[in-house]
A and B are shown apart, each in its own frame.
Chain A
Amino acid sequence: MVASMPKLDEGTQGEKLFDVPYDEQTNQFPDEGTPNRLFDGIRFADLPICDINATPNNTIMTLSNSAGCVKIIHSCGREGFKNTREGTNIAAQATGITLATRGIGIGMKTVRVTVAGLGPGRMAAIKGLTMGGMNVVSITDKTPVPWVAYPRPKKRRKL
């Protein structure tokens, strides 16, 4: 509400983040030379992509090459978590680990990550990827945020 009150949580609900000072001098953000920057000897634009779709009820992860051709799909449901357990950060982390091991098996060790949605698996999935041994180069948010909501969304739930 007002500035003197505690801040609302950002990102994933329930995961409280604190202020981190960031340095703009350390190549933290992309610039015009970014597509040609080398990571493990590969151009940034040619790196494989790991897409994470974090919905409230599930986390779906796909691994594709730089052209967008999907090689592996994995989700919390496929991982063995069923029903409500699909929408937890633990499930997302386990999914990330499995996807990372399989991806390394087909030679995709260094990836760039895109995340969509504000589900509980948003950060846990990326964490799982690194725990599985993948090298995450960059994190991109591609959550579709409409400023003009069209078509008109569903009506609010009655409580």
Chain B
Amino acid sequence: MTSTSALSSLLTDPSFIDPTNVFFTIIHRVCCDTPNQTAICPQQTDIGQRYGSKPKAGIVGRFPSQDILMYQYDAYDQKMVDERVAQYRDQTERFLAGEIPADEFQQLRLRNGLYVQRLAPMLRIAVPYGMLTSEQLRKVAHITRHYDKGYGHFTTRQNIQLNWPLLEEVPDILEELASVQMHAIQTSGSCVRNVTTDQYAGSAKDEIEDSRPWAELLRQWSTFHPEFNWLPRKFKIAVTGAREDRAAIQVHDIGVRIVEREGQMGFQILAGGGLGRTPVIGSLIKDFVEQKHLLTYVEAVLRVYNRYGRRDNKYKARIKILVRAMTPEVFAEKVEAEWATIKNGPGTLTDEEMIRAKASFTPPDYESLEDVNPQGELITDNRAFGDWLAHNVLPHKVPGYAIVNLAIKSTGVAPGDLTDEQMEQIADFAETFSFGELRVTHEQNVTLADVRKQDLFKLWQALVEAKLASPNLGLLTDMICCPGGDFCSLANAKSIPVAEAIQRRFDDLDYLHDLGELHINISGCMNACGHHHVGNIGILGVDKKGEEFYQISVGGSADSAAAIAKILGPSFAREEVPDVIETIVNLYVDNREADEAFLDTFHRLGIQPFKDAVYPSND
């Protein structure tokens, strides 16, 4: 097989797309006029010229001398990432030479985050537990500019996706990433994926313990785990260390919750949660695991799943199906028996390792500041600043500091998309205002976790200038949305135009603030990339005799009181959706008591009034 035919067969075969939970790229700034079968965009043809200026990956310690507040690779970590780049480069070359069959190369490239989908390949870059330094974000901006079309997509899994990389250039992109301690390892494929956590970890006021050291230990444990690289399906682990669960651990394959028992720190373990076509809330399988036993316990869970998870039907292959089939009790017993064979073995964490992990996430050099709000007068004078403070700024555990959420969702822009220039601006803001560090959130926003309150006004002004200050965090227009039928070949229906139509319908910011927290999640098909099951209002694209329709559900939640939304009834045509959403919102407004949130009103009223309102003919 020649390289051209290998490539084109890969690109035209629809089976090369991983069918579930793929945050397919949102491509709204398409620079090519026609669908591009070979994925070569005019902007991207001058490969040689760019190679000349490409920085080479070296070993450790490439960050500027400033204190880095997150885990830093040592020579071992760096070596593994560098060796993976070399291995993947060799695999790509052998594939292009026709030496690896397409079906096998699909699996190999997926384990490095490379999908091939409707218009072009997509590369998913790992952002472990959502944390990035300014340096790293600048590198991503550079990569989008030189290897792609100048923008990237922030996903609900705290990762970053490139929409138009060239398959043959991916090894170079990976080498660039490795030079700033980044990679795309295990961001897809049936293996353990990027470990996610609370975007406010280390700064949150309600934190019991920082979850990031544990997420990092799990990241290391799962990276290239040779036994668990070919699981029945993908596997996602989330960790939370706060009272409020901002990591949605109840809808993950394994959810890890940091708890304290009689003065001892440990973990509660949930298993079998997930979204997709069978949404399930995870079951508690272990009430308390001592900290040192975390990795061996997780290993036991994975081994039971690897051996007994279904492999005959990929829609029944997730761990949630196994846990349900066995019952959570029997599954937990099976794990317990497996764990007994490895507990206290070499995989048991040593005190030194736990100290090393914790010391990798040192608190920044906080100043001792008075915890007053220095902009008290400005808030009354400046309504827009006040709105932003009220909605996008959260309390911090250290007096005088605040957590700031940047709004990267505005009407007309696909949720989660950022241009190279915006990334560089955000990197600058992080450097100036938040110790050079930022987080990608599962709501597809960006967080600066350590901002001095006295700098808030200055930061806000800068964000307004950069169009990143929309005070819509958590409001109806801060929607989670998959790329949908515009770009994804699996979708039944488009989702971006639906999001945009809703954003246009609800364009009165005062009204939005009055509505308060209200999450709308949109998925273009039942693979649920837009997490529609856990939206307060969920919208699911369905195919009805070749026509695009939308099923509406109400009452879902991804927070500590996780709940799966209930379907209202028959689906609607796309143009009806904004009306239906408005009807639901009006019913809430008419019936809410005092400051009651949407979900609380829903729970009080039940689903019937909502059904009656959207299907009036049923009366």
**Chain B associates with chain A:** no
